[in-house]
A = this chain, B = another copy of it.
Amino acid sequence: MFGGNGLCSLRWDEASERVEVIDQTALPHQLRWIALNTLDDYCHAITEMQVRGAPLIGITAGFGLAHAIAQDASDAALDAAHQRLLSTRPTAVNLRWALQQVSSAVRLLDPALRPDTALQTAQRLRAEDIASCERIGSHGLMLLQGLARGETLNVMTHCNAGWLATVQWGTALAPIYKAHSEGIPVHVWVSETRPRNQGMHLTAWELQSAGVPFTVVADNSCGQLMQQGMVDCVIVGSDRTAANGDVCNKIGTYLKALAARASDIPFYVALPASTIDWQCPRGEEIPIEERGVSEVLAVSGADIDGAIREVKLVADGVAAHNPAFDVTPAALVAALITEHGVFQANTESLHALQSQLDVV
């Protein structure tokens, strides 16, 4: 069990037969569980980023499709729910992958048999995600052990690729949790991750809860920390990785990869194989979600009385641009850490991984 505390981002409540998720928009100020009772609830939770992180988006959508099938198991309803969930967010490929897993599992079945199979498939995806992340942690741990010199090992991360972005463990944070458990003196540089501050809101909260030492910095500080020798490696997650190893991840990831290269620091990407889009040859073909400009022009936080408030940073009438992701060229990536092992970020190496998956 992760960290001994059993925390997870999404759970199935047997009594109500409903999925419950942590509302991540309320963190770090409140730990609030919400029940997903309707397909609308599922779509809203994904669109509004109450759940986020490529693996968790996929699993949530899988349960959402199972929920829709339980209401109406016809082909038409299945297709409509599938399409609706698929359109919630454009970049994370795990969404498409998980929906396909559930749809394929039930498509050839008699409608009467579909609800149970769909739910079991969603449950299996959830269980597999936990197991995958645990293995990502083990593979990443070996890399960290190779870098550890007895002194504090300084790992930089971006956004949140912890257990909140998956179900348990996380991707980028899984090796860090493993290293911490193993007694490696690890310290994490947490970049705040504007505009939505997932580093500050989510990663800091996760690490604080787990007792892992960390320091929050503005995204702008990350280059200087690397110049000054304060970073031993960078580990981030991915929302979609192309078949050539180009990595799409939270906006700002590319700048960290450039700085890591300039200071000769290994830049790792931790991801389940379900995040690799085998149909996408290059990063530039990945659709980049453009989100509302209020994410840039206003910020939410806790007021002095503890109430969550949004404050506006600019005068009225200011234009903004808010892409949610960027693409880091494969050439800047030292390695991809997957549940199947550590792979180089290039077409040949990923082809080998794909062959391995086909055999399985």
Contacts and interface: CB of A to CB of B under 8 A. Distances in A.
Interface of A: 28-29, 192-195, 197, 200-201, 204-205, 208, 214-225, 227, 250-252, 254-255, 258-259, 262, 288, 296-304, 309-315, 317-323, 326-327
With a 10 A CB-CB cut-off, give which of A303, A313, A326 has the most chain B CB atoms: A313
A255 B223 contact: yes
B218 A195 contact: yes
Closest 3 CB pairs of A and B: A220-B252, A301-B311, A224-B326
A296 B218 CA distance: 6
Nearest to A254: B223
A299 B196 CA distance: 13
A309 B313 contact: no
Contacts of A222: 255
Contact of A311 (B204, B255, B299): B299
Contacts of A326: 220-221, 223-224, 227
Nearest to A293: B216
A288 B310 CA distance: 32
Given A220-B250, A220-B326, 6 more contacts: A192-B194, A217-B296, A223-B326, A224-B254, A301-B313, A303-B312
A5 to B, nearest CB: 16
22 contacts: A192-B296, A204-B315, A205-B314, A217-B320, A218-B296, A218-B322, A219-B219, A219-B220, A220-B252, A221-B321, A221-B323, A222-B255, A223-B255, A224-B326, A227-B326, A255-B258, A255-B259, A302-B311, A303-B309, A303-B312, A309-B309, A309-B311
Nearest to A308: B311
A258 B328 CA distance: 14
A185 B75 CA distance: 54
